[in-house]
Amino acid sequence: MYDAIIIGAGVSGCAVARELSRYEMKVAVLERASDVCEGTSKANSGIVHAGYDAEPGSKKAFLNIQGSRRMEALSEELDFPYKRNGSLVLCFEESDREKLQELLERGRKNGVEELRILEREELTKLEPNISEEAVAALYAPTGGIVCPFGLTVALAENACVNGVEFHLDTEVQSVEKMEKGYRVESSKGVFESKAVVNAAGVYADAFHNMVSAKKLQITPRKGEYCLFDKTLGDYVSCTVFQLPTKYGKGVLVTPTVHGNLLVGPTAEDIADKEGVNTTGDGLEDVLKRGGYSVQKIFAGKVITSFAGLRAHEAGDDFVIGEPEDAEGFIDVAGIESPGLTCAPAIGEYVAELVRKRIPAAKKTDFIAKRKGIPSVALADEAQRREFIRKNPAYANVICRCELVTEGEIMDAIHRPVGATTLDGVKRRTRAGMGRCQAGFCAPKTVEILARELGKDMAQIRKNAGESTFFAGYSKEG
């Protein structure tokens, strides 16, 4: 009998796992994908929101401020990329100034610090490439950017080191209330647990509805993005949002923590919970709307595009807590924006809810710190020499666009909750994230994965299910 089963290894599930790993509890995370961070957590803006957006008094507002305040310390503790780059909300019409003022006041009510309005002159000094149409902006110096993969993987690794089990490729099929606790049936067998944390993203409604009569509906809200080459990484320094205009809800233009430029997302409610395809219209829309914020969108510098699904709940707030009729079943549902920002706070908040049901003592040997994979690309020459001295594989460059070495890839594979897929390696090391998009390094990475995991190259997958690379050998046909 487990103390807690967490369904879903996205950023929320992993944050809860990490917080629960502080206590003497038997905890398992069940994830249908082949890796952590495979759903909504992998395809979003990577923003640490300052907290002026959410309705005061909502869960979103409270957890946003808490998450935003904790992110920096957590990034040091768990060693993932985070940067406080500040955020701007652009106002394009004099007549919209009122809305800007409202946003400022809402932000102050929510407890966002240092908020102020920038007039055009100050705005262009801060962002020389900003659109000539922008008349003023709300400036939130506490806004930041984070690597969503880095954050999720760090939480998972640390949870694992502290005793949480991760069951990947394990799809939960049903959750059933027992006399005491829950029976969770999965593609890899049955798990029984005193408590269940439902962090299943766009599928959270399905599991909730298995145990509660008070039904929940999560709508997948698609967001498409374009990612630009690193030569544009400093085109803007802040994350640039737009006030909603007559053209609809705006898109953002932001640098990423890794120095790319990201533009998106669109917002479209769809029926298919697996509908992470991009569309011609969507991508065109992203480029067009992004162009409102800056002087020029360099369409020829797009290196990739992607779509993610936000888990939208009709009430427009996070659904966190026990349904009245399902004691010990804790929803972490409807975690759309600013969910990534909130993750550290959600982890703590939900862990407290679990502990109310399952009292447990604090571990005395909890390991709070985690060290990330050393990055050759970010290291100076002395550090590089040191990495190479410890392991010469750190001198063998596999991904030339992002300067990722064999040593880093081996490290990513052999870590707790390590990479087993090409995408897993990519998200942990950035191999294949550069401008050639894995054209050169994919064959080499697949070879290293096979070697290190003791498998044949034909068994190595891109990510989930049947996403293998080969249909046999040459000279067979």
Partner 1 sequence: MNKSVEILVVGGGPAGLAAAAAAKEAGVKAEDILIVERDRELGGILNQCIHNGFGLHTFKEELTGPEYAQRYAEKVQAAHIPYLLQTIVVDIRTGDGKDKGVCGTKYVTAMNKQEGIFTVEAGAVVLAMGCRERSRGALNIPGYRPAGIYSAGTAQRYVNIEGRMPGKEVVILGSGDIGLIMARRMTLEGAKVKLVAELMPYSGGLKRNIAQCLDDFGIPLKLSHTVVDIDGKERVKGVTVAQVDENRRPIAGTEEYISCDTLLLSCGLIPENELSAGLGVELNPVTAGPVVNESLETNVEGVFACGNVLHVHDLVDYVSEEAESAGRNAAEYALRRKPETGQGQQRAEKESAEICDMADAGRSAEAKIQDGLAVDGDEAPNSAAKQGSGIAVKTGRGVRYTVPSVLRPQYMQEEQVIRFRVGEVCREVELVVYFDGAPVMRMKKRIMVPAEMEQVKLKKENIEKHPGLKEIQIAVEQA
- Asked whether position 467 contacts partner 1 by CB under 8 A, the answer is yes
Which listed residue (139, 182, 306, 318) binds partner 1 by CB under 8 A? 306
Q: What is the DSSP letter of 361?
A: P
- Asked whether position 419 contacts partner 1 by CB under 8 A, the answer is no
Nearer Cβ to partner 1 (109/383): 383
The label of the residue with tokens 């249909």 reads: 471
At 64, give phi and psi (nearest 5°): -60, -50
CA distances from 266 to 226, 252, 470 (A): 10, 10, 34
Which listed residue (282, 308, 339, 418) binds partner 1 by CB under 8 A? 282
Site for partner 1 in 350-389 (CB under 8 A): 381, 384-385, 388-389
Strand partners, 228: 261, 302
- Asked whether position 69 contacts partner 1 by CB under 8 A, the answer is no
Could you write out the DSSP letters of every residue in 237-267? SSEEEE--BTTBS--EEEE-TTS-EEEE---
Interacting stretch for partner 1, rule CB under 8 A, among 152-160, 191-199, 356-364, 390-398? 390-398
Give the DSSP H/E element, type plus range, for residue 68.
Answer: helix 59-78
Q: What is the largest CA-CA distance in the chain?
A: 70
Which listed residue (206, 396, 453, 459) binds partner 1 by CB under 8 A? 396
Which listed residue (304, 452, 453, 459) binds partner 1 by CB under 8 A? 304
Nearer Cβ to partner 1 (183/301): 301
Nearer Cβ to partner 1 (366/440): 440
- Asked whether position 400 contacts partner 1 by CB under 8 A, the answer is yes
35 closest CA partner among 146, 160, 169, 158 = 169
Interacting stretch for partner 1, rule CB under 8 A, among 15-23, 263-271, 313-321, 431-439? 431-439
The yes-or-no answer on residue 414 being catalytic is: no
Least distance between partner 1 and beta carbon 261 (Å): 8
Least distance between partner 1 and beta carbon 76 (Å): 28
- Asked whether position 238 contacts partner 1 by CB under 8 A, the answer is no
Nearer Cβ to partner 1 (53/411): 411
Which listed residue (206, 360, 436, 453) binds partner 1 by CB under 8 A? 436
Strand partners, 7: 30, 198
- Asked whether position 235 contacts partner 1 by CB under 8 A, the answer is yes
- Asked whether position 466 contacts partner 1 by CB under 8 A, the answer is yes
294 closest CA partner among 242, 243, 223 = 242
- Asked whether position 471 contacts partner 1 by CB under 8 A, the answer is yes
- Asked whether position 303 contacts partner 1 by CB under 8 A, the answer is yes
Residue 465, classified by CB atoms within 10 Å of its CB into exposed (0-12), middle (13-18) or buried (19+), is exposed
Residues 283-302, one symbol each (x = binds partner 1 by CB under 8 A, - = not), give: x--------------xxxxx
How far is C-alpha 15 from the chain's CA centre? 11
- Asked whether position 459 contacts partner 1 by CB under 8 A, the answer is no
At 92, give phi and psi (nearest 5°): -105, -15
Long-range contacts of 462-467 (CB under 8 A, 24+ apart): 462/421, 462/422, 462/423, 463/33, 463/34, 463/35, 463/38, 463/421, 463/422, 463/423, 463/424, 464/32, 464/33, 464/34, 464/38, 464/169, 465/34, 467/421
Q: 49, 208, 258, 312: which one is catalytic?
A: 49
At 321, give phi and psi (nearest 5°): 135, -175
In the complex, the residues that contact partner 1 under the rule CB under 8 A are: 226-227, 229, 231-232, 234-235, 274, 276-280, 282-283, 298-306, 381, 384-385, 388-389, 392-393, 395-397, 400-401, 403, 405, 435-440, 442-443, 447, 457-458, 461-477
Q: Which residues are catalytic?
A: 49
